[in-house]
Amino acid sequence: MAQMDAVGIEDARAWPGLDVFDRDGEHIGRLSGLYVDRETHAPVFGLVRTGLFGLRSVLVPLAGAFEEGGALIVDIEKQAIKGSPQLRRDEVLSDGAEQQLYEHYGLEHGPSQLLELWQLEHAQ
């Protein structure tokens, strides 16, 4: 399983509302929120609205992500994101879906790590 390089919360707070692109420059969608570790508040996944009307959302790992030119670049290929577990708009991430998410991306999931959604004002 892969380890995630931490992203600072101060950087990540400014990201919701940005268009998200994969590492090859393919457009994925728009970041609408952050899933953070409940204990450390470290940003772990970004909630990205996809599709024509933004009715579906995918969770994208934020490890290695950075802002460039007013866009968020994530360190993953779009194809891997397309196959990830999806959420409908305003759907809550269940414990089972959280486990599937970590497994899908090949990331370590500690026994106590639970994610909490932070939706920021300007992301709407």
Residue 101 lies in a domain: yes
Find the helix or strand (DSSP H, E) in which 33 lies. Answer: strand 27-37
Cα–Cα distance for residue pair 98/104, rounded to 1 Å: 10
Residue 53 lies in a domain: yes
Work out how many domains the chain is built from and give that number: 1
Find the domain containing 89 and state its range: 9-118
Q: Please, what is the average pLDDT of the chain?
A: 82
Do 118 and 34 form a contact (C-beta atoms < 8 A)?
Answer: yes
Distances (CA, A) of 23 to 46, 72, 115, 119: 15, 10, 24, 24
Residue 3 lies in a domain: no
- For position 94, what pLDDT does the model report? 82
Residue 2 lies in a domain: no
Which has more pLDDT, 22 or 5?
Answer: 22
Do 28 and 50 form a contact (C-beta atoms < 8 A)?
Answer: yes
pLDDT tens profile 42-74: 899 999 988 777 678 899 999 999 999 999 999
* CATH classification at residue 98: 3.90.50.10
Of 92, 91, 113, the C-alpha closest to 102 is 113
